[in-house]
Structure 1
Amino acid sequence: MRSRSERKSKPKKRKWLKITLITLSVIFLLVAGYLFMLYKSLTDTVANMHEDPRGGQISEKRDKEIEFKKKDPFSVLLLGVDQRAGDRGRSDTIIVMTVNPKKESIEMVSIPRDTRTEIVGRGTEDKINHAYAFGGVEMSMNTVENFLDIPIDYFVQVNMEGFKEIVDAVGGVTVNNDLNFSYDGHTFPKGKITLNGEEALAFSRMRKGDSRGDFGRQIRQRQIIEAVIKEGASLETLVNYGPIFEALSENVKTNLTFDQMVAIQANYRNAAKSINQHTINGTGKRINGIYYYIVPEDEKLALQNMLKEHLEIN
């Protein structure tokens, strides 16, 4: 026969088991609720970011649509637009990325904003960054397609004026600065520096005080973008997702849908194993008193062939 103490211990154990199960259930519901809010905020943000200047049509240089499940190579045009109040602005940062998961590589080409080329839809030759001022994203995509002779499948546009909001939302960024300089009331010493939004914007805009000119500025802009991605992916930042999603929603536009972003994440991870950055060789020249960057035909042809090979275009 069980003693009185043994009989009392059984209900006590059941009571603690019940409390534990209730506590775990509450925690599960809270976590599930948080994840649902996070997912809904993310999908709402991507929906607000979505913009399709081609109305769902694929590039004229494509025979068929990209199939992410088959890991088809694709291209992305990154535009950093210096857009201020009452002004459409110009695309001061123009970067083309071709992504090939089979070759486990990404080719990244920075196009100098002063590059002289045909502006498709205008019938004139001008600086390539003027395409955005004349006809927005669509004219920019068409002009870059014509310049590189490859399809531009997708675009991501970042408003550099509002980029400071994104930097502040992730709690600032840390970069390795290779040039000691001052700009717009801020001083940037060489070495590892941490920047808030306003400082990051000034850091990414300076051009004339750098002997590399536009190339130096593009390097700093890539540093800021990479640092934002790194900070945005951290667990600590994820808890503060509200301001981050709001900043992205207001300052980033893309024709990629949420489902396409998910498919790229699932099928193209290996492409990031090797990121090769390319600059375009050319010379500066004044034509009718205006400075242009002139790219020789043989340089352009070599670049076109390299990108076509990476995109597996015959």
Structure 2
Amino acid sequence: MSSMSDQNKDVNTHQHHHKHHHRHRRLKRFRNVIIGILVILAVGAAGYSAYAWHKLSETSKVIYKSAGAPKLRKASTVIDKTKPVSILLLGTDTGSLGRSYKGRTDTIIVMTINPKTKKTVMMSLPRDMEVNLPDYPNYSPAKINAAYVYGGTKETISTVQKYLNVPVDYYFMINMGGLKKAINKVGGVDVTSPLTFTYNGSSFKKGKTTHMNGNTALNFARMRHEDPQGDYGRQTRQRLVISALMKKSISYKTVLNSDFLMAISDEMQTDLTRSQMIKLAMSYRDAGKNVKSDHVQGSGQMIGGQSFEVVSATERIRASNELRANLDLKQVNY
């Protein structure tokens, strides 16, 4: 989720060597965010009252948006029959998710959930990963996060499906730009900083928990250059902010607060319907207890004057088959 004006600059090469347990913690936080959102929109509202159910219905209409991408299989029957499902998790930079939005999806994670084996696999794709865009050959090769710039969620889904040879049944997009409103509506969030720094007038100390309003939280999440992990560190702090918001927002009063629900819905889009979100929250949640966090590993290369993360054929096949295995699909060889 890049929220910086300089997001198109190359990521420092030392980021390729970040420790595995740091990556695992970041993906775990992001997984918890998604689960938390589903709980807010589904289990909480459906379980508390008819009023909350009504608000869930109205909110679902606001956040629902079909991607329009050709699917590799009939997605609607997957959840209906409680089969292994794949969801593309997208994190965007700041800005509106409206029709005129032309930002980039700098967090791209393919999540597969198997309710039978009770296992979830989360595969993170480098935002600078070199790909060919199926519907925009003249702009290829391109960085995968540019797919959204050219063709929105439709092109992003098409690109991921073709690159990994894995069906994308649904997508879920969350935006960092408007989280300020939601954070303020719940009275702020408590976040422990992983490092000491000052950004845009806000100061943070490593290991110290700070109560942040919306503006302070965004300052905490936006800093990049002073972080020894560069963009990876920035994404970690963004996950901390979202995770803190979700933890505080899952409550009886919050679920019944239509203003809060609408504030959150402004920052989300998905092609999951209300009933599908409820089915996911109720029938697939046990798979969240056994999560394998992974990523597609590339190597930095200059192509046409741009820095790309180039992934080997072997690594591509490995990532594809790991996801396919959790979907109970046959292994591929390309």
Shorter-chain TM-score tier? 0.7 to 0.9
Extract unaligned runs of 5+ from structure 2.
1-47
Q: C-alpha deviations, 1:142-172, integer Å up to 9, x for none?
A: 1122222211111111222112222222332
Aligned residues, how many?
277
Q: How does 1:219-230 map to 2 (within 5 A)?
A: 219-230=236-247
Q: Which of 78, 81, 85 matches 1:67?
A: 78
Contact persistence 1:95–1:109 (CA under 8 A): yes
Given that 2:174 and 2:267 are in contact with CA atoms closer than 8 Å, whether structure 1 keeps it comes out as: yes
The structure with the larger Rg is 1
- Alpha-carbon offset, residue 211 of structure 1: 3.1
1:168 aligns with 2:184: yes
Contact kept, 8 Å, 1:110 with 1:218, in 2: the verdict is no
**Using a 3 Å threshold, how does the CA distance of structure 1 residues 162 and 259 change in structure 2: closer, same or farther?**
same
Structure 2 contact 79–85 (Cα < 8 Å) conserved: no
Q: Give yes or no for the alignment of 1:88 onto 2:102.
A: yes
Where structure 1 has 5 or more consecutive residues not aligned to the other structure, the ranges are: 1-33
Alignment check: 8 A CA contact 1:68 1:267 kept: no
Counterpart in 1 of 2:308? 292
Counterparts in 2 of 1:291 and 1:202: CA distance versus 1, 3 Å: farther
Instruction: Select the structure with the greater relative contact order (CA < 8 A; seq sep ≥ 6).
Output: 2
Secondary structure at 1:66's aligned position in 2?
A: helix
SS in 2 for 1:119: coil
Q: CA RMSD in A?
A: 2.3
1:269-284 aligned within 5 A: 269-284=285-300
Amino acid in the other structure paired with 1:51? K
TM-score in terms of structure 1 length: 0.80
2:222 to 205, 217, 226: 205
Counterpart among 118, 121, 129 of residue 104 in structure 1: 118
Alpha-carbon contact 2:255-2:261 (below 8 Å) kept: no
Q: 1:115 to 1:42 in 2, by over 3 A?
A: same
Deviations 1:86-127 (A, max 9, x none): 652111221221111222222112222111111221111111
> Residues 148, 221 of structure 1: CA spacing in aligned structure 2 closer, same or farther, 3 A cutoff?
farther
- Corresponding residue for 2:211? 194
Tell me the percent identity.
Answer: 36
Report the equivalent of 1:301: 317
Counterparts of 2:237 and 2:112, CA distance in 1: 21
Q: For residue 154 of structure 1, what is the aligned residue in structure 2?
A: 170
In 2 relative to 1, CA 175–108 (structure 1 residues): closer, same or farther, beyond 3 Å? farther
Aligned to 2:314, what secondary structure does the other structure show? Answer: helix
Distance change (3 Å), C-alpha of 1:279 and 1:223: farther
Query: Where do 4+ consecutive residues of structure 1 move more than 4 Å?
Result: none
Asked if the contact 1:112–1:215 (Cα under 8 Å) also holds between the matched residues in 2, the reply is no
Aligned to 1:179: 195
Give yes or no for contact 2:75–2:170 (8 Å, CA) kept in 1.
no
What is the distance in 1 between the residues matched to 2:180 and 2:272? Answer: 23
Does the alignment pair 1:52 with 2:66? yes
